[in-house]
Amino acid sequence: MTDKLRIVHCFRSPVGGIFRHVRDLCAAQVAAGHAVGIVCDSTTGGEFEARLIAEVESMLPLGVKRTPMQRHVGIGDLAAAWRTFKIIRDMRPDVLHGHGAKGGVYARLFGTAMRLSGQRPARVYSPHGGSLHYDARALIGRVFFTLERIMDAFCDHLLFVSEYERRTFERKVGRPRAPSTLVYNGLNEPEFTAVPARRDAADFLYIGMMRDLKGPDLFIEALARATKRTGRTLSAVMVGDGDGRDAYVAQAQTLGLGSQIAFLPAMPARQAFGLGRVMVVPSRAEAMPYIVLEALAAGRPLIASAVGGIPEVFGDNSPALVPPDSEALAEKMAYVLQDEQAYAARMPGRAELLRRFGSDVMARKIETAYLESLGRARR
């Protein structure tokens, strides 16, 4: 691109898939000559995330600005919102890209408010699931979807990471007023290199945040059921951090799996892939999880919940897909152990994954959306 932009990415929590997505985008955008910065929460993330933040900050011309952000929007959030607004305003972005529910609200509100002082940044929003995970029948869901409908009037472009996410937005919020683009998450080419299982690898592997949405409790229950089903003492490794970790350790102990499951802190995914022969992604809800793409690119066989955009990666009839249910997971885990090599051969191939989920494809589509959005914002 010949247009050099000032781009600010705003999101709450510097953990998980959103942070991974933003880091990759930042690297591509800086390589293209843009001035890029990040604004995110200062109260979440551990030592692992702190190292990642330091790495990305070293390459960003606009730096990483961290300030306390509450998870939910509310009266108590006003002071945090005002601090965040001033930080973003002083960065003078051409493009303000909000990620997730909180980042999306901030980007659209702040980008609109900045017009009072003569700035006209393009207001871009990537839900990444976010508030779309809520039940439309529940009070909190109705509140969030009403807020999304209001915010839609202040958006220049929506970026969806899966067709499922786009359909969910239209069903729960309504057809967006702003233009939208489907852009799958993308991986860097070195990630499309196989990671073999270690000699002492466990039977199964879970990598992800320790929260119910990601299904670690389903994984533990499924391992207990699969152990009974196969008559074997099955082993597992669970890698990740989160507020629910202690509860999952207790669940494993209660089910008599204390010696069969090793709980390890968050680490780089490619470092963790070799710890188990078959990876399980038991999420209850997703948009387009990076961990699925990363594991497949590394040549690891997967069992995954058929939720969100995951079937768009595998195809609807893939043997890898199961309902987010412990009995269905257990049945599939037992099935895979019968012939692991044959099962692994049915995973999507490297060439297909690279063509659809390469980071260069992702970055190019998003840059195009930025320019189109900027043209609209400055009219």
Structure tokens at 73: 């929007």
Q: What are phi and psi of 241, to 5 degrees?
A: -120, 165
pLDDT-above-90 percentage for the chain: 83
pLDDT above 60: residue 1: no
Cross-sheet strand order for the sheet of 202-207 = 261-264, 236-239, 202-207, 276-281, 302-305, 321-322
> 44 Cβ partners below 8 Å, 6+ apart?
12, 13, 14, 15
pLDDT at 66: 96
Predicted confidence at residue 379, as pLDDT, reads: 62
Class of residue 155 by CB neighbours under 10 A (exposed 0-12, middle 13-18, buried 19+) = buried
Tell me what the mean pLDDT of segment 273-280 comes to. 98
Pairing outcome for strands 35-41 and 122-126? unpaired
Give the pLDDT score at 136: 86
Give strand pairing partners of 98: 10, 125
pTM (two decimals) = 0.85
Confidence of residue 73 (pLDDT cuts 50, 70, 90): low
pLDDT at 72: 65
- pLDDT attached to residue 75: 67
Distances (CA, A) of 355 to 46, 186, 226, 297: 34, 10, 36, 12
State the Cα–Cα distance between residues 191 and 345, nearest whole angstrom. 19
Per-residue pLDDT of 349-368, as tens digits, reads 999 999 999 999 999 999 99
User: Taking the CA atoms of the chain, what radius of gyration do you get in angstroms?
Assistant: 21
pLDDT for position 204: 98
Give tens-digit pLDDT for 230-267. Answer: 999 999 999 999 889 999 999 999 999 999 999 999 99
Say yes or no: do domains 6-186+358-377 and 190-356 share a fold: yes
Tokens read off for 354: 């690279």
Closest CA to 237 of 206, 213, 258: 206
Confidence at residue 172, expressed as pLDDT on a 0 to 100 scale: 94
Q: pLDDT tens digit string along 205-233?
A: 999 999 999 999 999 999 999 999 999 99
Q: What is the pLDDT of residues 105-148, one digit of tens each?
A: 999 999 999 998 899 999 999 998 888 888 888 988 898 899 89
Output the pLDDT for position 133. Answer: 84
Question: What CATH topology corresponds to 190-356?
Answer: Rossmann fold (3.40.50)
In this prediction, residue 76 carries a pLDDT of 66
CATH superfamily label, 6-186+358-377: Glycogen Phosphorylase B; (3.40.50.2000)
> Which residue from 271, 267, 264 is spatially nearest to 191, judged by alpha carbons?
271
Domain ranges in the chain are 6-186+358-377, 190-356
